Amino acid sequence: TYPAKLRVVEVGPRDGLQNESAAVPVCTRAALVGMLAAAGAKTIEVGSFVSPKWVPQMADTADLLAMLPAMAGVSYPVLVPNLKGLEQALATGKVGEIVVFGSASEAFSRRNINCSVDESLERFGPVMAKALEHGLRVRGYVSCVLGCPYEGEVAVTAVVRVAAALAGMGCYEVSLGDTIGVGTPLKARRMVEAVAGALPVDRLALHFHDTYGQALANILACLDLGVSVIDSAVAGLGGCPFARGATGNVATEDVVYMLQGMGIETGLDLARLCEAGAMISTALGQETNSRVARARLSV
């Protein structure tokens, strides 16, 4: 049976805009976040406190946070790779939730955060402890859960190990990232089933990129396992700068359209989401990657 409602985590302002070759002005980022909140988004991943040399697109995240209004029930999580990032996030006074990000693949871990998987888990320990001490909530990512741009196949046991480690450290939720969108439905389902053997399935989120056009099918294949959170990006923005060829996350508009059609509540307003997607696509000078948004424009 399918869930009656699902939480959708909007990652467009971070996962989407981190990958644009031209930096997006901070006021455009703020306008996008505002439109997403107006569409009903309750969790909006707005940016990262990472090295500006590695990801210049996210360099203004502190300025962005300063521009965002505090809204009841809306949280603005940010990615944090280490203590330096956490200190910057805390200094804004505006962050209630951080996200640490690990990988199931050794090669991707090195390319993305310049350390091995075990070193990353060791590094997250003090970050988590300090974050929890300051009353922040911590979410965790596992990247490359269905394949790696450098290693190819990734063992499900590696995914389970990293997911369990993040949950064990205190992440309230672990998001499973198909970073390069290579997964297919049965493979996705088996991977989620395996992770659900190690931690409660209601603490798992699906973070599927749509590079090979499989993301909605992969989500659907996992929905009756008890997963209750989907990550998506408005207009299907994004990719990862350290995973060449990876395109955006599954489009939020497409996820919401599918779930609405299945009678699953998300609390999101499709028309307003499409407006947010249209605004950012115009600002980027790109056509939207959302099939639903494109279809609605043509009628």
Annotated active-site residue in 144, 222, 240, 274: 240
157 touches, from Mg ion, ligand HMG, none (C-beta below 5 to 8 Å by class): none
**Which residue of this chain has its Cβ atom nearest to ligand HMG in the complex?**
177
Q: How far, in whole angstroms, is CA 124 from its chain's centroid?
A: 18
* CA-based nearest residue to 14, from 42, 45, 56: 45
Which string of DSSP letters, residue by residue, matches 260-275? HHTT-B----HHHHHH
Residue 48 near which of ligand HMG, Mg ion, none (CB within 5-8 Å, type-dependent): ligand HMG
The site partner of 18 among Mg ion, ligand HMG, none (C-beta below 5 to 8 Å per kind) is ligand HMG
143: enclosing H helix or E strand: strand 137-143
Residue reference for tokens 């309750």: 42
Binding residues for ligand HMG (CB under 6 A): 15, 18, 48-51, 54-55, 79, 81-82, 84-85, 88, 101, 112-114, 141, 143, 177, 179, 207, 209, 240, 242
Smallest separation, CB 213 to Mg ion (Å): 16
- The binder of 228, among Mg ion, ligand HMG, none, by C-beta within 5 to 8 A per type, is none
For residues 17 and 270, which CB has a smaller minimum distance to ligand HMG in the complex? 17
In contact, 218 and 157? CB cutoff 8 Å: no
Q: Is 171 a catalytic residue?
A: no
For ligand HMG, the closer CB: 49 or 124:
49
Q: To the nearest whole angstrom, how small is the minimum distance from the Cβ of residue 49 to ligand HMG? A: 5
Q: Judged by CB, which is closer to Mg ion: 30, or 145? A: 145
Cβ-based nearer residue to Mg ion, 235 or 261: 235
Nearer to Mg ion, 15 or 173 (CB): 15
* C-alpha span between 252 and 258 (Å, rounded): 10
Nearby residues of 108 by Cβ (< 8 Å), 6 or more positions away: 143, 144, 148, 149, 150, 151, 179, 242, 243
Stretch that binds Mg ion, among 7-15, 42-50, 96-104, 191-199 (CB under 5 A): 7-15
Amino acid at the residue 84: K
Residue 20 or 269 having the CB closest to ligand HMG: 20
Residue 49 CB contacts under 8 Å (≥ 6 apart), including other chains: 58, 61, 62, 78, 79, 80, 81, 84, 85, 86, 88, 89
| Nearest distance from C-beta of residue 117 to Mg ion, angstroms | 17
Residue 76 partner contact from ligand HMG, Mg ion, none using kind-dependent CB cut-offs of 5 to 8 Å = none
In the list Mg ion, ligand HMG, none, the entry touching 54 (Cβ below 5 to 8 angstroms by class) is ligand HMG
Task: Say whether residue 15 binds Mg ion (CB under 5 A).
Answer: yes
Specify the amino acid at residue 293.
Answer: A
Which residue, 101, 132, 134, 126, is CA-closest to 115?
101
H-only helix segments in 93-155: 106-113, 117-133
Catalytic residues: 240
